[in-house]
Structure 1
Amino acid sequence: MKRILNWLGTLLIVAGLVLFVWLMNGKAESEEHQQELMDAFRSVQVMEETVELLEKETDATKLDGMEGILSIPAIDLEAPVMHGADAETLNRSLGAIENMDLPGEMGGSYAIAGHQAHVFGKYFNRLHEMKVGTEFTFQTGEGEMVFKVFDIKIVKPHEVDVLEPKEGMALISLITCYPAHSNEYRLVVQGERID
């Protein structure tokens, strides 16, 4: 019996080590993928936009569906934002909700969704730490925009009217499930463009 327990203990330790290595590898791959997207976005942004550039096999091919880079220093987040907020997109990055206005558009509303807790990647796992007055940036092909948080709400998933445009304001909403490991509510952090 003692031999079986020793064998079982060894097996559990080995299984734990294998799981740890798998998780660390997945985290590293996720971070590498996100960094590649952000690097490609920045390199294409620096280049002149010409027809030849779009036709060549360059970093632009990696950017299919990428809308920009969201940077929130207060919660140590810099992540690519892809077009669409479907499950596949949100499993690998942040996603811009479809059928919204352009980011930074005066009188418009733009929204970015992300998982709060994800095995591989940070995404919005610290969004609940945001405070009114926190500034963050969103970099697109048009340049970098600065936003300042003016409201933080917890709403039911069907309460989408929170995303309605506000007159005289370029609105951006950052959305995640709330609380952690639950999808009962949505945490919505709203900012207005200040640059």
Structure 2
Amino acid sequence: MRRDQKMGEGNYPLAGHHLKQKNLLFGPLENIKTGAQIVITDFKKDYIYSVTSKDIISEMDADVVEETNKKEITLITCDKAVKTEGRLVVKGELVDSFGHTN
């Protein structure tokens, strides 16, 4: 979402679709709980984040993708699968990362 973003460094925002079939793409985020793990990979390292917050914001609140000094992830999707102006934002803090071995 930003050209300068890097996994495991600062704020790493990702946006995804929330469809009527709630088990696809970012649909499951509506049921995520604080403390749940989010794992992403760049195929060189895995990055493990712990969910710290879940909020509904306006579609106009673009500041959630801005860089921060925290090592965090920001997941963004529509707050429901039909026409909506709200966005579900899930934030997590980096708790671990580890490299892949072949």
TM-score by length of 2: 0.81
User: Runs (4+) of structure 1 moved beyond 3 Å?
Assistant: none
Q: CA deviation at 1:99?
A: 2.5
Structure 2: gaps of 5 or more residues: 97-102
Structure of higher CA gyration radius: 1
Which residue of 1 is the match for residue 58 of structure 2?
156
Give the count of matched residue pairs: 95
Pair 131,100 (structure 1): closer, same or farther in 2 beyond 3 Å: farther
Structure 1: tracts of 5 or more residues without a match: 1-96
Higher share in strand: 2
| CA RMSD between the two structures | 1.8
Q: How many angstroms does 1:102 deviate by?
A: 0.4
| Higher helix residue share | 1
Q: Given the alignment, which residue of 2, 23, 27 partners 1:125?
A: 27
In the superposition, the TM-score normalised over structure 1's length comes to 0.45
Q: Partners in 1 of 2:5 and 2:50 — Cα distance?
A: 18
> Higher RCO, 1 or 2 (CA under 8 Å, sep at least 6)?
2
- After superposition, residues 1-195 of structure 1 pair within 5 angstroms as 97-105=1-9, 108-117=10-19, 122-167=24-69, 169-195=70-96
What letter is aligned with 2:86?
A: Y
Aligned counterparts of 1:183 and 1:132: Cα–Cα separation in 2: 24
Report the identity percentage.
32
